[in-house]
């Protein structure tokens, strides 16, 4: 196994760690970052990091990509499509040992279901440009994987949280808000569960489109309230959604209201979530904060 990640970010690193833990700590890992400064900061790490900004082809990544057996994509598409597929298709075509492709998508592709439970059989009806581009990118990778004859694992992720990216951090920074929109719920997923499930999918060459979300979709203000209780501080005051000052992008997230099931991927892998609800996830983050 040789891993290549387009976008060596939060979820990709969790996946690399999980594969090293579950399979072999010596598995070679290469990936991309957007800037030379970020790549330089990784000079002493175990990963081979290349610069790829999504605008022009990366100049140093060809050899690592062409020798990869497993490629995982974590770069969002834009109006031109998927940057990895657009700019490095020739390298992928020239990877003779390519066995499996993984693609990190989003549950945003489903759009709004009025708070109802949905699974992978639900139609995609995205409400914003970002999610529409995801739907198109998913199909582009399906077409490519079919052409290459390799399994493609598309995992539609709920809102990602974990150490360094949780309600605790927002409370410490003074940026946490309890915006209340009646009957609004969101799913979330701990980054460790993303890494573990994706690693197991890679090791089993799992193919198909799957959701990955926690088992208890909840109002966003509930996480802030719970985190504040764990920290022993007062939560910020509640603010009605209709009067809250928000960027258009932040407000757009509230247009999607649904409960997303992950039963399909867990059954396929014979797995359970490490953190099935936000409470277990936040408790673990707080316990491991030192």
pLDDT at position 31 is: 97
Three-state SS letters, 151-176: CEEEEEECEEEECCECHHHHHHHCCC
Asked if 186 and 5 touch (Cβ cutoff 8 Å), the reply is no
User: With a threshold of 0.85, does the pTM exceed it?
Assistant: yes
CATH numbers and ranges of domains, the chain:
3-161+188-215+257-274 (3.40.50.720)
How far apart, in whole angstroms, are the C-alpha atoms of residue 278 and residue 247?
25
pLDDT at position 200 is: 98
Of 241, 236, 215, nearest to 225 by C-alpha is: 236
Of 52, 42, 46, nearest to 24 by C-alpha is: 46
- Backbone angle region of 211, left / alpha / beta, with phi > 0 → left and psi within -120 to 50 → alpha: beta
pLDDT band at residue 1 using 50, 70 and 90 as cut-offs: very high
pLDDT band at residue 234 using 50, 70 and 90 as cut-offs: very high
> Which stretch of DSSP H or E encloses residue 268?
helix 263-269
Tell me what percent of the residues of the chain surpass a pLDDT of 70: 100
Joined together, the tokens standing for residue 178 give 């309890």
Whether 290 shows a pLDDT value over 70: the answer reads no
- Report for 34-38, 126-130, 258-262: range of highest mean pLDDT: 258-262
Whether 6 shows a pLDDT value over 70: the answer reads yes
Whether 237 shows a pLDDT value over 70: the answer reads yes
Whether 184 shows a pLDDT value over 90: the answer reads yes
Mean pLDDT lowest for which of 17-21, 125-129, 178-182?
125-129
Asked if 50 and 39 touch (Cβ cutoff 8 Å), the reply is yes
To the nearest whole number, what is the mean pLDDT of the chain?
A: 95
Mean pLDDT, residues 259-283 taken together = 98
Tens-place pLDDT, residues 13-53: 999 999 999 999 999 999 999 988 888 887 778 899 999 99
Whether 267 shows a pLDDT value over 60: the answer reads yes
Tens-place pLDDT, residues 70-122: 999 999 999 999 999 999 999 999 999 999 999 999 999 999 999 999 999 99
């Amino acid at each position: 196994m040789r891993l290549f990640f387009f976008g060596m970010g939060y979820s990709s690193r969790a996946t690399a760690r999980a594969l090293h833990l579950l399979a072999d700590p010596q598995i070679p890992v290469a990936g991309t970052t957007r800037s030379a400064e970020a790549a330089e900061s990784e000079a002493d790490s175990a990963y081979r990091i290349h610069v790829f900004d999504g605008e022009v082809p990366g100049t140093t990544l060809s050899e690592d990509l062409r020798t990869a057996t497993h490629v995982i994509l974590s770069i969002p598409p834009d109006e031109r499509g998927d940057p990895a597929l657009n700019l490095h298709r020739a390298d992928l075509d020239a990877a003779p040992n390519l066995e499996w492709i993984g693609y990190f998508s989003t549950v945003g592709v489903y759009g709004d279901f009025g708070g109802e439970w949905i699974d992978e059989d639900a139609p995609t009806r995205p409400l914003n440009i970002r999610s529409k581009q995801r739907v198109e990118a998913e199909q582009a990778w399906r077409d490519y994987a079919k052409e290459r004859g390799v399994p493609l694992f598309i995992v539609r992720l709920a809102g990602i949280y974990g150490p360094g990216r949780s309600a605790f951090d927002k409370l410490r920074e003074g940026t946490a808000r309890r915006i209340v929109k009646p009957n609004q719920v969101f799913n979330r997923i701990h980054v460790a569960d993303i890494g573990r499930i994706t690693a197991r999918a890679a090791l089993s060459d799992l193919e198909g489109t799957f959701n990955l979300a926690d088992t208890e979709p909840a109002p966003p203000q509930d996480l802030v309230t719970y985190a504040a209780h764990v920290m022993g501080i007062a939560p910020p005051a509640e603010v009605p959604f209709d009067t809250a000052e928000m960027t258009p992008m932040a407000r757009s997230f509230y247009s999607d209201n649904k409960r997303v099931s992950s039963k399909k991927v867990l059954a396929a892998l014979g797995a359970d979530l490490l953190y099935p609800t936000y409470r277990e996830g936040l408790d673990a983050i707080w316990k491991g904060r030192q």
